[in-house]
């Protein structure tokens, strides 16, 4: 399946006692199945993969895969600090039927890493994974920024299919697109630079925002493809304001609080993350309602 369009980075639901709520996960996914989303990333940052045991990760992936129709692309977060552990979960996800494994850069020992060690890490996984690999680049969380030249070396492996670049650096994303093979998919992880990312060649986006607003980023991509630059720019401005308030400023608790307000199941994050206070949850709901109202007004006027 092609890596393109708008893919939601979905959260992992927990009960109030922070145990897995797989029934809520299944219910959420089935509701998203009826949207314009291209697919899902399960066990990304929004999925709190760092807070789950290996057994829990397998249970989440299994339930989400069961609930996801085959026409939706399914990316399984399988990254860990060691190549050995990453391969174990990646092979398991391949046997489960994941379309791609999305693998975060290992980072704990980054002060001793050389670029060659990261290239070898991804190539070793790609050699034995059983499914294509997507590099997950999120330096704000890992403290490790991949240079485009290093990404290009990783991309030389035919089983490394693309990258989710959550750096927010448009110039680096542009250079990555330039130096990597044409078939190597570059996707942004930031709604705040979505228009710029598409302009320099990104084929899609993997967004936590898309759990709540899936039509708006898809409409932006469609407007740009149709040459309607003013319309695309207007959507970007509205979407960026929403993303700042909900995702950038509030993170995983913000996404979960908004899902609760929308009638999905958000539930609590796992400690050490804390749920939003009621007034902060009000703020994210207002940001959502404001975006939806603006988009509805634009649709009624038939302009940008």
DSSP one-letter code for 110: G
Whether residue 164 lies in the annotated active site: yes
DSSP one-letter code for 211: G
DSSP one-letter code for 34: T
Q: How far apart are CA 198 and CA 202, in angstroms?
A: 5
Q: Is 158 exposed, middle or buried (0-12, 13-18, 19+ CB in 10 A)?
A: exposed
Which residue spans within 156-286 are E strands per DSSP?
160-165, 185-188, 204-207
Question: Catalytic residue among 57, 164, 177, 256, which?
Answer: 164
Q: How far apart are CA 87 and CA 67, in angstroms?
A: 24
Pairing mode of beta strands 5-9, 133-137: unpaired
- C-beta atoms surrounding 76 within 10 Å: 33
Q: How far apart are CA 50 and CA 48, in angstroms?
A: 5
CB 147, CB 179: distance < 8 Å: no
Phi-psi region of 66 (alpha: psi -120 to 50; beta: other; left: phi over 0): alpha
List residues with catalytic annotation: 164
């Amino acid at each position: 399946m092609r890596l393109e369009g708008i893919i939601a980075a979905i959260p992992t639901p927990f009960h109030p006692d922070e145990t897995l709520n797989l029934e809520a996960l299944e219910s959420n996914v089935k509701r998203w199945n009826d949207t314009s989303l291209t697919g899902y990333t399960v066990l990304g940052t929004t999925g709190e993969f760092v807070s789950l045991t290996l057994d829990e990760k397998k249970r989440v992936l299994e339930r989400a895969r069961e609930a996801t129709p085959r026409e939706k692309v399914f990316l399984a977060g399988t990254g860990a600090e060691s190549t050995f552990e990453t391969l174990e979960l990646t092979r398991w996800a391949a046997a489960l039927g994941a379309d791609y494994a999305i693998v975060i850069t290992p980072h704990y020992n980054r002060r001793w890493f050389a670029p060659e060690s990261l290239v070898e890490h991804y190539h070793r996984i790609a050699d034995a994974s059983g499914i294509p690999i997507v590099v997950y680049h999120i330096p704000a969380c890992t403290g490790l920024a991949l240079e485009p030249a290093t990404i290009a070396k990783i991309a030389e492996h035919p089983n490394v299919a693309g990258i989710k670049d959550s750096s927010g650096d448009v110039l680096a994303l542009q250079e990555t697109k330039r130096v990597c093979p044409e078939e190597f998919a570059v996707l942004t992880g930031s709604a705040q630079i979505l228009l710029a990312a598409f302009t320099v060649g990104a084929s899609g986006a993997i967004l936590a925002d898309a759990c709540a607003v899936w039509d708006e980023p898809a409409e932006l991509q469609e407007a740009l493809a149709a040459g309607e630059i003013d319309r695309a720019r207007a959507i970007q401005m509205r979407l960026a304001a929403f993303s700042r308030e909900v995702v950038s400023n509030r993170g995983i608790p913000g996404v979960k609080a908004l899902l609760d307000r929308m009638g999905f199941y958000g539930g609590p994050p796992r400690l050490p993350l804390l749920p939003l206070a009621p007034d902060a949850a009000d703020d994210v709901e207002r940001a959502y309602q404001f975006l939806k109202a603006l988009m509805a007004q634009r649709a009624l006027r038939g302009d940008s």
